[in-house]
Amino acid sequence: MTQIFGYHTPHAIVIATDSLALCPDERGGWEKTTVRKIVHVSPSVVMVSGGSGIGLALAHEFAAAVRSQGLWNVEAIFPKALPFARARAPLMHRRSNFAPRPDAEELERYYVLLAGMSLQTDPPSAHWLLMGSESHGAPVERIAMGNVLAIPRHMGFEVRAGRLAGTEGELEAAEKLMEELLRRRAEQTQDAAPPFFFLRIDGKGIQERHLS
């Protein structure tokens, strides 16, 4: 399962994710690989996927559709995301490379996080939207969330990040907390692997850094 951590304030968003992915092998099992799970949709909007490969495929297809229509801002892009995902996901489920695995139902769920800055407000405002499907063939739904996100759920992070005040210094604290958790999971479990990617989305745009 992809590790995604997020922290949202009215004027900025911090997101972190790892690069571990599981792919079917020729023996009917799973093999680990490294996948970039971040898709830049426009200069002000980005997507992060988690779970099965359908999420990442949806993100890439949606980004391509947005670019072909010449869309770039939150107000134009966000309303199109859920209808697009609901229309395209059934087609992807019918592709052979996305066939369900009865022995790994937890690997069939997927999530797509859309995050961006609205430049039509003064000051610019931060927005995010989470979509997902809990099982193979289940419809894509919008998932309610607050100002803290952890996929999979991580109560320790959610509690600690929920105590932050939302200032610029607290954004640094949230990102540091995400980095510590990703490193710990990579060292102690098989649920995460570097490189780790960090996104800072604010009035300056989308900044990205990674750690090996």
Give the residue among 89, 143, 154 at the shortest CA–CA distance from 114. Answer: 143
Burial class (CB in 10 A: 0-12, 13-18, 19+), 34: exposed
- Cα–Cα dist 199/210, whole Å: 9
Q: Specify the pLDDT at position 31.
A: 77
SS3 call for 49: strand
Q: Specify the pLDDT at position 172.
A: 92
Q: Specify the pLDDT at position 131.
A: 97
- Cα–Cα dist 91/159, whole Å: 38
**What's the helix, strand, coil split of the chain in %, to 5?**
35, 35, 30
Q: Specify the pLDDT at position 102.
A: 47
Give the residue among 47, 44, 112 at the shortest CA–CA distance from 76. Answer: 44
Residues 6+ apart with CB under 8 A from 202: 11, 12, 13, 117, 124, 126
Check if the beta carbon of residue 2 is closer than 8 Å to that of residue 168.
no
**DSSP-assigned letter for residue 135:** S
Cα 85 from chain centroid (whole Å):
14
Domain count, the chain: 1
Q: Specify the pLDDT at position 52.
A: 83
Distances (CA, A) of 108 to 74, 128, 133, 141, 184: 29, 23, 8, 15, 25
Q: Specify the pLDDT at position 167.
A: 61
Domain of 50?
Answer: 4-211
Q: Specify the pLDDT at position 96.
A: 47
Check if the beta carbon of residue 193 is closer than 8 Å to that of residue 19.
yes
The CA radius of gyration of the chain, in Å to the nearest whole number, is 17
Which two three-digit tokens encode residue 55?
């999420």
pTM for this one? 0.90
Q: Specify the pLDDT at position 166.
A: 57
Say which CATH number the domain at 204 has: 3.60.20.10
SS3 call for 84: helix
- Give backbone dihedrals phi and psi of 38, rounded to 5 degrees, phi first: -110, 130
Which residue's entry shows tokens 């690069």?
19
Which residue's entry shows tokens 């949230």?
174
| Residuewise pLDDT in 10s, the chain (212 residues) | 679 999 999 999 999 999 998 776 667 666 788 899 999 999 999 999 998 888 999 999 999 999 999 999 999 999 999 999 999 998 887 764 554 554 455 567 899 999 999 999 999 999 999 999 987 678 999 999 999 999 987 888 889 888 886 566 789 999 999 999 999 999 998 888 899 999 999 999 999 999 98
Q: Specify the pLDDT at position 195.
A: 94
